Structure 1
Amino acid sequence: MIPRIRFDIGWRDLLYGFRTAYSFRGDDRLTAQLKVEQLWSSEDDSLACLSLRSGFDTALEAYSFPAGSEVLMSCMNIGPMADIVESHGLTPLPIDLDLDKLTMRPDLLERAITPNTKAIVHAHLLGTRQPLDELRRLADKHGLVLFEDCAQAYRADDWRGDPRCDVTMFSFGPLKTCSATMGGIVRYRDKDMLEKARSLQSQLPVQSRFEIIQRLLLFSELIFVTQELPYSIIVGAARRLGLEEFVNAPLRNFRGSKAYQFKKLRKQPSRTLLSLLLHRLKTYDPSLVKQRLDAAEALLGEIPEVCRPGRAIADHGYWQFPIYCDDPVGLRRHLHRQGFDSTLGHKAFVVIPPPADRLEFEATTATGTLPRSLYLPVHFRARKEDLVRLGEAIRSFDPECTNDRGVLNDSCTVADRAGTLETTAAAT
């Protein structure tokens, strides 16, 4: 079985983390934090955090928007981002996407902004990077704070987001490029706001050594499990028992009730985590990103007509590789029989629901296409011969066996039709 998940962290990195956790030598926590921030940016504008979500939570507290204010957000993301907004007494308002470009639709943005709107949160999805000229123009016109979520867009290069954004957030969590198992870095355009956020974070409890050691142990197990042979054995058994989420569940940094999640994320990063993040940033091999890009291009060469989100974006990092299919469950079973793991779209992301009084902003395009998405095993460990087989397996999927219309062009038509219907509804 070819796993869809491969962690971008190795045994040596984990050993470095263990050694740091059990050693009394090296930098103290604040020195390690300063070194991470200085390595990331020479502008003295960054704050190292426990996670991107922790940094986002602190940033919202620093800006102190009035209770009940609205925050416009890319409608498709991980669910906890909207939960964090709500925890500050704010209302997340989803903006539907142009799925070819993975950007918030400008017509909806203009309609959504009211005097109660205080911020925009744009997420660069699936490894893409979009120009933010229009968002910056809107933010300046209406006096809004512009947040940039770069969790999926880092490629181990010099890119640090759009310098015109007020807050730019990066993640080094479980499945991210240059993973440190967790950790985040947030850049602020306003130095006074940075100092306020730094002061707020300094009042939080520090992540314990036990917590980070537990994390390192978990990843030691997961790296072993996601090797092909053990993965084949364990996933096969788990699926027969209906427990196939056994890998995904431990990857969520903060699980449990919302109250428990917030208790876990509202902490300062430990010395061990900061040292490991510094080590990863210093020693990471950018050729791994190139291998991932090469794998994506190789598969696209096998299935050039396949429909996928972000198909119109030139600046693509292929952090994830979803395709559209009118029968993703059937295709997933077909790929499984051919020896390839995959993940259904609704298990990877959520579509943020609109508030009850603004139901006209229901993200119908994203809602209609997310269930048709299937995430394929395209990553830096993918072998050329396996990608050729994967392409053959996708092309050989027989729509007649599922009474559906297949994998290639029809699903694009579905996505386009959903967007057309939404535009027509808005016009009327």
Structure 2
Amino acid sequence: MYPRKCLDIKASDLLYGLLRCLNQTNRIEWVSKLQSKWSSSNDTLICYSVRTGFNLLLDSLNLPAGSEVLVSAITIPQMIDLLKSHQLVPVPIDINMESLAVKSEHLESSLTKKTRMILVAHIFGCRMDLTEVVNFAAKHDLFVIEDCAQVFLADGYLGHPSATVSMFSFGAIKTATALGGAIFTIRQAELNQVMNRRVKEYPTITQFSFFQRLIKYSFLRLVNHSSIYGSIFTFLELLRHDPDQIVMALTRSFQTGNLSSQLQYQPATAQLALLYRRLSQYRTETIERRQASGYKLTRHFPDDAWWPGCHAKKHTFWIFPICVSNPLQTRLRLKEHGFDATLASSSLIALPKADKNESPTEAQLVLSKILYLPFDVSMPSKDLIRLADLVAPDITRISK
């Protein structure tokens, strides 16, 4: 059975991380090397996670209570929780689900005297054009926070040059993963200084804790092999365990409970070393192979097939979502044929409109019918075609 998502990390990278956990190295030196590798210490923050950095950003900006933040309608729930914990009001901006870009006309209609910031997320591995967003922000003197957690491409893109802050994630299921860690490009010198000073006040994850994380993901990488994954999946079902819940629990970055207390850490020194290695060795050819496989899959869809991001200008197929009329039914059929597709994940939500009497946003409609295909660059052509043939009759167009 093909797993829902393969970890983008080699065994040699995991071994390197494990060995680094056994060495006492200069932490300040690794931070400096990472900042120089990315850009410079003048505009780069290294932190534990995107949520860690975003929480720190909100603390540092200290916007007035009740300030409104225009948020692209699909995001992770913790980003909304962090806004609300700082007494800020998230205002959803709907997304054109063909291009996965925010609908610029909704920016203007949602603007009020309380609007202070725009938070826009690139989703599903598609990098949207932010020109209209940053022009709108400049016109109205708004901060632009760009969530690039799903679109690191190793192509030199450090975020839109007019964004206030651009946030990149190297979490467990991300491209070029270091099993955690995030890098922020911060284009206001004073803000960069404040955030870099404050992050140093956080305690550091221990080498032993990161060693345990490496062991866990070494095991997960092993069972990710299709021949092993299917057997374990079947075994868990025989024991009446829900494989979905187990996989989600094993890969969840943060537990339920007080989020802020889980965020306020710095990465382990060994993790900094691993992240530096990933940035130094990762090549765009890896992304290009994934893109080629993704487009090969779509060529076997019907000519009029529609899926989120089908008209995106920059699609990297980090994950491959489609919309089907009955996601559970299609998922069960794919499972019977050896493909572990995933239903809408709790890691992404579609923000509802403030007025519950209004019709759902396009983003809400899509997430209600979404199914994530178990797509991976290593999948042979014959299985890509088989997967396409299985889902083709069920693909549904969502429009509003």
C-alpha distance in 2 between matches for 1:171 and 1:256: 20
C-alpha spacing 1:87/1:149, structure 2 compared with 1 (3 Å): same
Partner of 2:60: 62
Cα shift readout 1:297-339 (whole Å, capped 9, x = no counterpart):
1101111433201111121111111111111111111111111
The match for 2:336 is: 337
Q: Does 1:90 align with 2:88?
A: yes
Amino acid across the alignment from 1:339: G
TM-score by length of 1: 0.89
The alpha carbon displacement at 1:50 in A equals 0.7
Tell me the distance in 1 between the aligned counterparts of 2:358 and 2:66: 17
Correspondence for 1:299 among 297, 300, 323: 297
Partner of 1:73: 71
Which deviates more from structure 2 when the two are superposed, residues 284-293 or residues 180-189? 284-293
Instruction: Identify the range of structure 1 (107-116 vs 359-368) with the bigger mean alpha-carbon deviation.
Output: 359-368
Q: In 2 relative to 1, CA 354–215 (structure 1 residues): closer, same or farther, beyond 3 Å?
A: farther
| Residue of structure 2 equivalent to 1:326 | 325
Does the CA contact (< 8 Å) of 2:353 and 2:361 recur in 1? no
Change (3 A) 1:23 1:361: farther
Is 1:16 matched up with 2:16? yes
Q: Which residue of 1 aligns with 2:379?
A: 382
Aligned-partner Cα distance in 2 for 1:348–1:204: 25
Corresponding position of 2:3: 3
Distance in 1, matches of 2:85 and 2:356, equals 21
Alpha-carbon distance in structure 2 between the residues aligned to 1:327 and 1:55:
38
Letter in 2 for 1:329: L
Q: Secondary structure at the match of 1:187?
A: strand
8 A contact 2:100–2:309 mirrored in 1: yes
Q: Tell me how far 1:242 sits from its aligned partner.
A: 4.4
Change (3 A) 1:43 1:263: closer
Q: Which residue of 1 aligns with 2:394?
A: 407
Aligned length: 397
- The answer for unaligned runs of 5 or more in structure 1 is 396-405, 420-428
After TM superposition, the runs of 4+ consecutive aligned structure 1 residues lying more than 4 A away are 358-363
Letter in 1 for 2:175: T
- Does the 8 Å CA contact 1:38/1:44 hold for their aligned counterparts? no
Q: Residues 52 and 363 of structure 1: is their aligned pair in 2 closer, same or farther, counting only changes over 3 Å?
A: farther
Residue 177 of structure 2 is aligned to residue 179 of structure 1: yes
2:245 is the counterpart of 1:248 = no
The aligned counterpart of 2:107 is 109
**Superposed displacement of residue 201, structure 1:** 0.8
Measure how far apart 1:42 and its partner are: 4.2
3-state SS of 2:309 partner: coil
SS at match of 2:218: helix
Q: Distance in 2 between matches of 1:346 and 1:363?
A: 19
Structure (1/2) with the larger helix percentage: 1
Identity rate, percent: 33
Contact preservation (8 Å) 2:35, 2:41: no
Deviation sequence 1:154-190 (CA, Å, 0-9, x none): 1121111211100000000011110000010001111
* 8 Å contact from structure 2 (residues 48, 180) kept in 1: yes
Paired residue type of 1:164: S
Superposition deviation, residue 348 in structure 1: 5.1
Contact 1:295–1:383 (Cα < 8 Å) also in 2: no
Distance 2:353 2:126 in 1: 25
- Say which is worse superposed, 74-83 or 207-216, in terms of deviation: 207-216
- Report how far residue 146 of structure 1 moved: 0.2
What whole-Å deviation, never above 9, does each CA across 1:46-104 have from its counterpart, x for those lacking one? 11111111111111111111112111111112211111212222122221211111122
| Aligned equivalents of 2:41, 2:131: Cα separation in 1 | 22
Cα–Cα, structure 1 residues 131 and 191, in superposed 2: closer, same or farther, change >3 Å? same
Once the two structures are superposed, residues 234-268 of structure 1 have per-residue CA deviations (whole angstroms, 9 ceiling, x without a partner) of 112334524122112221211121x1x32121111
The match for 1:233 among 222, 231, 234 is 231
Alignment of 1:125-140 (within 5 A): 125-140=123-138
Taking the TM superposition and a 5 Å limit, the aligned residue runs for 1:166-205 are 166-205=164-203
Q: Which runs of 5+ in 2 are unaligned?
A: none
- Contact (CA 8 Å) 1:292, 1:378: kept in 2 or not? no
Change (3 A) 1:64 1:233: same
In the aligned structure 1, how far is the partner of 2:363 from the partner of 2:233?
29
Matching residue of 2:38: 40
Alignment CA distance shift 1:76-1:85 (3 Å): same
Query: Distance between the aligned counterparts of 2:110 and 2:72, measured in 1?
Result: 12
Say whether the 8 Å CA contact 2:94–2:361 is kept in structure 1.
yes
1:264 aligns with 2:251: no
